[in-house]
Structure 1
Amino acid sequence: MRLYILSLLFIIPIFSKAQDRDLEQNKSIWENAHKETSNQDRLKYLDSLAGEIRYDSTFNSDSIFRVTISFAQKMDSVDMAMKHAINFINYHNYGTNDYKEAKKIIKAAYPLLPQVSKPNILDDFYYEAAYVYYESRHFEEAIKLFDSAYVYAKKYKSKYVELSKFAIAMAHVNNGKFGEASLELQEAATLFQNKKDTLMWLNTKNSMSILYSKNGFYEAAKKERNELIKLAKISNSFPNLPIIYYNNAADDNKMNLQGSRIKNLKLALTENQISENKDYFEPALKSGLAAALAESDSLQQAEKLIKELELDDENTSGQNAHYFLNAKMRVAFAQKDYENALKYGLTLYNLKIGGDQYEEIQESELFLSEVYQNIGNKEKAFSHFKNYTKIKDSIGSIQKTRVLAYYQTIYETEKRDLTIQNQKSNIALLNSENKVKNQWLLFGGMGLLGLFGFVTIVRSNNNTKRRQKLQELFTQDIINTQEQERTRLAFELHDSVGQQLMLLTRKLKTIDDPLFGTLANDTLTNLRTISQGLYPATLERLGFTSAIEDLINELDENTEVFFTLELENADKLITKDKALHLYRMLQESLNNVLKHAEAKAVFVSIEILSNTIIMTIKDNGKGFDYHKALNTSKSLGMKSLVERCKIISAKLEVESSLGKGTTLMIKLPITNA
C-alpha cells in the first residue's frame, strides 16, 4: 500500500490568476506601448501587459518583464518595478522552472526594497522569493525568507501571516527538522483557526497528522485525524476527507490492525462517493482496499475490485499505476500465483527504486523476499530481506533521531520562552545605573529560585514517601487489629456461647422430640465452623505445621481439586504471630486458586533452607497477570498478601503466565525472636 496519497511536502503558493487574454490582444497592447509618445501612457500599457502575461508562456514574457521593470525604475515608480519583479520571479519559478534566473532577479531587486512605499509589496516579494529557494531545495535560505515574509505580513496584516508559518513548517519537514516543523504547524493551525480559514486549518491539521505518523507517533496521528474527521463533518468544507481515512488505514497497516485498516478504506470509498474529487481518488482507494482484502483472506472481494479497476485504463496507468500494481501483486500472492506476483512486484520495485519513498521501497523489498522464498530462490529471498532490514533500521534510526530532536526542540523552546519572559519582567532593572549589581541580583534570585525549587521537590518527595510509609503502617495496623478481634471473638464464641449451646444440647436430649436435638447439634457445629474461621483452633492446640496439614486435608476432602503436601516441621522456628500470618496467607492463596484459577491440582510445601522458611503454593490453573492484579483496586487479596509479608518481614515471589499456572513463594527469615 502506498503510504500516503497526499504528500506532506506538496504545497502550492496561493495567488489569484487573472484570465489570460489571447495572443493577438497582448500583441496589440505591446504595439501601443511602443507607439505612445507619453512616458506615463507607455508605462500604463507596459504595466497592463506585464500583468496579463504573467502566466502566458506563448508570448515574449521575459523581454516584456525586463522592459517594464527597467522603464518603471526610470520613471521612479519603484512600487510598480517591484510588483513586476515579483511577477517575473513567479514566472520563472512556476512557468519556466528556471530557478537560477529567478535568483538573479531576486538579488537585483534587493536594492529597491528600502524605496518601496506601498503596503504588502515587501511580504509578497519575500514570500515569492522564498518559494524559489524552496522549489530548488535550498530550505535554510527559504526559511529565512519565509520568516521575513511573516514579519512584514504581520506589519501589514496580510494573508501571508498564516501562509508563511505553514510554509516555514513545510521547509523544516523537507530539512528533516521534525521538532521545529511540529511547532510551526501547531502555530499555523492556531492562526488559520483565528482567521476562520477552515480549509487551510484542516489542511494544516492533516499535515500535522502525517508528520506524526511518518515519525512513529501513531497515537498522536490518530488523535489529530479523529479530530479532523469530526471537524470536517461539522463544517462540511473539507474535500479530502476520503484521504484522511486512507491515511488512517496506512497507519493501521503499519501496526498490523488489518480489521481497522479495511474499515477505514471502506469509509474512504463511502466518503469519496460524495467528493468533488471522486474520479481522481477512486482508483487509489479501490486498489488499496483490494490489497488489504487480499492480505486478509478475502480474495473473492479483492478479485472483484481488480476487475472493476481494469475496466478503465486510467485506473491502471499514469499516477495510478503504482497503486494498481501493489493491488495486483498482493492478489496474485494470495492466489499463490508467485510468477505473476514476482512480475508485478519487480515492476513496482523498479518504479520506486532510486526515489525517496523509502517506506514503500522497504515494503517492496519485503514482498519480493517473501515471493522468492515461496519460489525456492533462497539466495534472492535473503538478499531482498537484507535490503528490507537495512532500510527498516535506517528509517528507525532516523525516526529516533527526529523524536529526540523533537523533544529537544520542545525543551529549547520552553527555555527560550522562559528566558524572554524573565527578560521582559526585568527590563527596569537592566536599564538602571548599577547594571552589574542588578545582574548579580537577577542571577542570585534565579539561583535562590532554583534552590527553592530543589528543596520543594526534595520535601515533596520525602512527604510522599512518609505518606506512603504511614499508609503501609496504617494498613498493617488494620490487619493486626483485625486478627486480634477475630481471635477475641473466636474464644468468646467457644468459651461462652459454645459452652451454653453444649449444655442446651444435653438438656434437649431428655426431650422425646428428636428435632430439637438435631437443631441444637447443627447450631453447635455451625458455631464451631465460624469460630474456626475466625481463629484456627488447631494452630493453638497442635501447632503451625499440623494446622496447615489439617487445612489441606479438609480442602482435599471437600473439593474436586487434587492436593499434594510436603511439609517440614517449622513449629519451633516461628513465633505465634508470624505463624498466624503465614496460615492466613495460605488460606488466602488457596481461596484464590479455588475461586479463579480453574486448577485441577495444587502443590503445597514448607521447607527450611539457609535459615529461611519457604512456603510454596503451585497450581496448574489458567494463570493471571500478577502486576495488573496488584495494581487493580478490586484485587484486595493480593494486596493483603503483600501487606502481611511486610508485617512479618517476609519476601513474596509470584510467577504466573496465562495458561501455564501460578507459583507463589513466601520466604520468611528465621530469627531468634
Structure 2
Amino acid sequence: MRSFLMMFSCITLLQAQAQDSLWIYLNELNNQGAHRKLIKEYQLAREESGILHKGEYLILYAGAFQNLNLADSAFYYYNEALKDFEHRNLAEEVAETNLIISDLLESQNNLESDHYSYFEKFWEYATSVGSPYLMGKGQNYLGRKTYLDSNPEIPLEHFRSAYVHFNSIDSIRLAIVNLMNMGAVHSNRIQDNDSARYYYFHALDLLHSKKRMPEYSNQYHDLLNNIGNSYRRSENLNEALRYYKMAETLQVKQYGNITKKILFGNMDLTYYYLGDFENAYNYLYKYDSIKDVINLAQQNSTISDIQEKYDNEKLRADNLEIEKRRLANRNWLIAASLALFLGAGIAILLQKNTIKKRQLAEQEVLLKHQRVENLLKEQELLSIDAMIEGQEKERQKVAGELHDDLGSLMATIKLHFDNAKVGTQDPALKNAQRLLEEAYQKIRGMAHSKNSGVMSDQGLLPAIKKMAMSISESNTLQVTVEDFGLGERMENSLELSIFRMVQELVANVIKHAEATKVNIQLTQHEDNLNIIVEDNGKGFDRSKLDKEKSGMGLTNIEKRVEHLEGNFTVDSVLGKGTSILIDIPV
C-alpha cells in the first residue's frame, strides 16, 4: 500500500505539471538510481488500483526500462503511451512521444526501423506551433541525422540553431548537449580538435557556472569523454587518459552501461597506442563484458516484432474504418464517379482544343518572326551586293578615266616634251623628263590597280598573285601566296567577290596591323575553297572595332561569306598577329 501511495503522489505531480516538469522529475529519479524500484512500484500500482493505460505513467515506465538498457521493453511502453495520447487528442504529448521513439530507434543502429517517420510527425507539429523547446529538439535531431553529410556545415547549422533555441529558454542540459554536438563535428568531421575543445570547454564552463555537475552527471561524463577523444586525436595520449579517468570516476545516472561501454573502448584504444598492453587488455575486457549485457541484436529483433504488431493493429483498424465508409457512401461514390468521368472527358477535350489552339498560335508567331528575320537578312545582303557592285563600277570608271583620259594626256605631253627643240644635256630637262615618266607610270599603276577586279582574262589566282607582287615591291610588307589544288576557274562573279574580300583583308593589314609579313593560302578540296590570310602584326580585339568606320569591314565580309553559305573565323591575339579563315562552297 505504501508503494501505491508513493506512486499515486508521483502520478498526481506528473498530471499537475507541464512537460518540462515531467522531465525534471525523471531526472530526480535518475539521481536516486530508482529505475528498477520505479518499475516494481508501477507494477504494484497497476495491480492494486486497476490503472491500465495512462500516457504520463507509461512514459515514466518506458523511461525506466530505457535507463536499464532494455530498449525493446521501452519501445513497447512508449508505443502504449503514444496510443493513449492519440486517444485523448493531446497533440504536444503525441509529438514529443514520437520524437522519443525516433531517438530510441536511432540509438539502436537498427537500419530496418523506420525511425524517421516518427520524427516527421513530431516536426510537423513543432513547426506549426513554433515552440523554442520543440524546435530546438528538432534541430538537434536533424543535426545528428545529417552528421555524416558530405558538407559538415549542414549539421553544424542545425546544432547552432538548436543551441539558440535552448539558450532562449535557459535549458542548460540541452544547450550543453548542442555544444558537445558542435564540438563533435569539429573533431570527427572537420578534424579541427582545437575548435572542438573550444565548444567542449565552453560547455564545461557552463556546468561549473551553474554548479549543476551532480544533477547533470551524464552530460559531465560525456564532456570529459569527448575532451579525452579530442586530445587522443591530437596524439596527446596522456592528456586524453587524464580526462578519461575523470569520467570513469563519475556515477552515471542514465544509460550507464552504454555510456561506460563507449568510455572503456576509448581507454582500451589509448592504452594500446601508448604500448601499455596490460591496461589495454583490462579495458577491452570491461568493454566486452558490458557489450554482452546490452545485447543490441536481441533487443532490435524484439523491437521489430513490436513494430510489426502495432503496424498490423493499425492496419486492421484502418481497414475497418475504410469498410464502414465504403458501405455508407457507396451510392454517392457511384454517382460522383459518373459525374467525374463525364466532367473529365469534357475537360480533356477542352484542354486538347485549347492546347492545339495555343500551339497553332505559337507556330504562327514563330513563322512571322522567321519571315521578318529572313526579309531583313535578304535586305542586308542586297545592300552589301549593291555596295560591292557600286564599288566595282566606281573602280572601273576611275580606272578607265585614269587610263584613257589622264593616261593619254600624259602620254601626249611626254611625246611633245621629247620632241621639244631644247638642249638634251640640260639638267632641268632631264629631271623634268624623269618626273614626267614617274607620273605616267604611277597613273598607269593606279589604273591597273583600280581595274584589278576585272579578271575575265587572268582569273582569281593570277590576280591575287599580281596584287601580292605589287605590294611586295614596296619592300615594307612581304606578301606571299600559296595555292593547293586550285583547278578550273570559277564563275566570274564568285571570283570577283573572293578577290575583293582578300583585297580588303590585305588592305586592313596594311592600314592597321603594322605587320611585316602576310601569307595568303588558297586550298580547293572537291567542292570547297579554303582561304587563310595570316599576318605577324599587333593583333586586335574585334569587340572594340568601330564598325561604322571600317570600310567594307570584317562584319560585312562575314555577311558576304554567309551569303555565299560559307564560314568566317577570326583568330587574333594581341601582340601575336591575326589569322582569318574563310570556307566557301564552290
TM-score (norm 1): 0.43
Pair member with larger Rg: 2
Report the TM-score when normalising by structure 2. 0.48
